[in-house]
């Protein structure tokens, strides 16, 4: 059974700092991994999608890496801003048509202090 864990659960940093969020998963047979952002009481915004054959994806100040063999992904945020404050979720999609669902991590609550 796939389990996804995110560390740390909460993180507070001063504006301008670079930071790394971690995501680990127990079953390496994944199809892809997505990083999402969720603002309080809102839906999810997709940040980055990494296919199982890829090692990393970049979008602006965000860079996500994937190491399938060790069951790990990281989300790197450069030059953090107060507007980056949100909960960040990673989710994996396992292989298999019958289990075509995202399995979410527990999330990291990020606060960027001005």
Distance in Å, CB of 61 to other proteins, minimum: 20
Are 75 and 23 in contact by the 8 Å Cβ rule? The answer is: yes
Among 58, 75, 60, 77, smallest CA distance to 18 is for: 77
- Which CB, 60 or 114, lies closer to other proteins? 60
- Which CB, 57 or 85, lies closer to other proteins? 57
Distance in Å, CB of 56 to other proteins, minimum: 16
Distance, in Å, from the CA atom of 41 to the CA atom of 82, rounded to the nearest integer, reads 18
- Which CB, 50 or 112, lies closer to other proteins? 50
Under the rule (CB under 8 A), what is the footprint of other proteins? 31-32, 34, 36, 41-46, 49, 89, 91, 97-107
Q: Would you give the distance in Å from CA 54 to the centre of its chain?
A: 15
Distance in Å, CB of 18 to other proteins, minimum: 26
Among 25, 42, 35, 28, smallest CA distance to 56 is for: 35
């Amino acid at each position: 059974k796939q389990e996804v864990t995110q560390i740390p659960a909460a993180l507070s940093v001063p504006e301008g700092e670079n930071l790394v969020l971690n995501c680990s998963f127990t079953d390496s047979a994944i199809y892809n991994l997505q990083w999402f952002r969720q603002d309080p009481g809102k839906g999810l915004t997709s940040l980055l999608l990494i296919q199982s054959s890829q090692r990393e994806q970049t979008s602006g100040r965000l860079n996500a890496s994937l190491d399938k063999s060790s069951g790990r992904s990281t989300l790197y945020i450069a030059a953090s801003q107060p507007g980056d404050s949100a909960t960040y979720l990673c989710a994996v999609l396992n292989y298999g048509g019958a289990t075509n669902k995202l399995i979410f991590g527990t999330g990291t609550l990020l606060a960027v202090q001005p």
